[in-house]
Amino acid sequence: MKYISKKVFDFCKNNKITCSSDTAEKFDVLYDMLIEFNEHTNITSLKTEDEICTKHFIDSLYPLSYSLIPDGASIIDVGCGGGFPGLPLKIVKNNINLTFLDSTEKKLKFAQNVCEKFGYDCDFYAERAEELIKDGHREKYDVAVSRAVASLPILSELCIPYVKEGGIFIAYKSLKECDKSNPASELSLSEKAITALGGKIEKVYPAYLNLQDKTVFEHALVVIRKVKPTNQIFPRRYPVILKKPL
Ligand code: SAM
Query: Is position 16 within any domain?
Result: no
Query: Is position 14 within any domain?
Result: no
Residue 21 amino acid letter: S
Which residues are paired to 144 by β-bridges? 76, 169
Share of the chain above pLDDT 70, in %: 100
Q: What is the mean pLDDT of the chain?
A: 97
How far, in Å, is the centroid of ligand 1 from the Cα of 130?
Answer: 13
Task: Read off the CATH number of the domain in which 90 is found.
Answer: 3.40.50.150
Q: Tens digits of per-residue pLDDT, 188-211?
A: 999 999 999 999 999 999 999 999
Query: Is position 65 within any domain?
Result: no
Query: Is position 99 within any domain?
Result: yes
Count of domains for the chain: 1
Does the CB atom of residue 109 touch ligand 1 within 6 A? Answer: no
What is the predicted pLDDT for the residue at 81?
97
Q: From the centroid of its chain, how far is CA 24?
A: 19
Q: Tens digits of per-residue pLDDT, 91-131?
A: 999 999 999 999 999 999 999 999 999 999 999 999 999 99
What is the predicted pLDDT for the residue at 173?
98
Which residues are paired to 43 by β-bridges? none
169, 157 Cβ separation under 8 angstroms? no
CA distances from 122 to 36, 48, 83, 158, 220 (A): 22, 29, 11, 21, 26
Q: Could you tell me the residue range of the domain that residue 196 belongs to?
A: 71-243
Query: Is position 8 within any domain?
Result: no
How many whole angstroms separate alpha carbon 199 and alpha carbon 49? 37
Query: Is position 192 within any domain?
Result: yes
Does the CB atom of residue 122 touch ligand 1 within 6 A? Answer: no
Query: Is position 10 within any domain?
Result: no
Query: Is position 21 within any domain?
Result: no
How far, in Å, is the centroid of ligand 1 from the Cα of 147?
Answer: 8
Q: Tens digits of per-residue pLDDT, 166-181?
A: 999 999 999 999 999 9
How far, in Å, is the centroid of ligand 1 from the Cα of 20?
Answer: 30
Task: Please give the model's pTM, rounded to 2 decimal places.
Answer: 0.98
Task: Provide the terminal-to-terminal Cα distance of the chain, rounded to the nearest Å.
Answer: 48
